[in-house]
Every structure is written in structure tokens, then in C-alpha cells.
Amino acid sequence: SAAKCGACVKVTGPNGVITAMIVDQCPECSAGQLDLFQDAFAKIGDISAGKIATSYEFVECGITSAIKLHNKSGTSSHWFSMQVLNHNEPVAKLEVSTDGGSTWQATTRQQYNFFENSSGFGTETVDVKVTSESGSSVTVKDVSVAADSETTASGNF
């Protein structure tokens, strides 16, 4: 699943420790395994080994800039698809309000890490609330639902 995309892990191997961001799935990995980029692998183990014993824990990413909300191509008032970028903690949910925050509507996270509503929200701008796994949230007002647009929040988790 895409639930951990954007989360960071501190990975300990035989030769060192790195912090890495989860950016993709690893279909061939068993539960609990990580597939690292070659430069990251080289910092914690011998690349020629192919597989090494590691341990990891989820950590904050240390990102100091604000969260970004990116609309997928084709997004409109009739089809909603948004990705959360640059977040410091794993995202648990993304909700949308069309009434100034009085009520919030859920979106569904897709395997490719976009939050969607197949019928859209019927308006050109929405308020967006992003909630992290720890329960922190960031709310962004008047977010455009135009295709390929990006909105920067005022903060991060």
C-alpha cells in the first residue's frame, strides 16, 4: 500500500546508519524488508552482498519547509486527485471541505499515493485538511482543484 510513502526511516546496517525516505513499493520484498537505492545501500553494507541484515525505525524526516498539495492531471470540480508532498510524518488521511470547514469529506488513498474522490466536489476551490499518523493536522484554505496545480501550505507536521 502507499500508506508509508513519504515517511522516513532510520536504517541500521552492518556498516552504518542512514535516514531514507520511502518513495515506492517493493512488490518482491517480504514484510519488513526495504529496497534501498544503491548509494544508500553502500553506506550501510557491502553492495556485492545483495541482501544484508538491517533494522529500521520510523523517524521524522527533518523537513523544515511547508507541505505541498499537488493535483494530478485531469483533476477538476468533477474528479479530485491530490498528492501530499514534503511532509515530515506519514499522512493518515486527507479531507476536503466545501463549506469553510464546517464539515469534512473523506478521500480515498490510491496505491499510487494520491487521495481521490471520483465525483469531485463540484467547486473550483476547496479547503484541505491533511492529518498525520500522530494526529497532527495542517489545514489549507481555498485550494484550487485545477489540473496539475500545486499549493504550498503554511506549515508542516
Q: Domain map of the chain by residue range? A: 8-59, 68-152
> pTM, whole model, 2 decimals?
0.87
Q: For residue range 90-112, list pLDDT tens digits in order.
A: 999 999 999 999 999 999 999 99
Please count the CA atoms within 13 angstroms of the CA of 1 that sit on its side-chain side.
8
Residue matched to cell numbers 485531469? 74
Q: What percent of the chain has pLDDT over 70?
A: 99
Quickly count helices (H) and strands (E) in the chain.
1, 12
CATH number 2.60.34.10 given to 68-152? no
Which grid cell sits at 46?
557491502
* Among 38, 72, 89, residue whose Cα is nearest residue 145: 72
Q: For residue range 51-102, list pLDDT tens digits in order.
A: 999 999 999 999 999 999 999 999 999 999 999 999 999 999 999 999 999 9
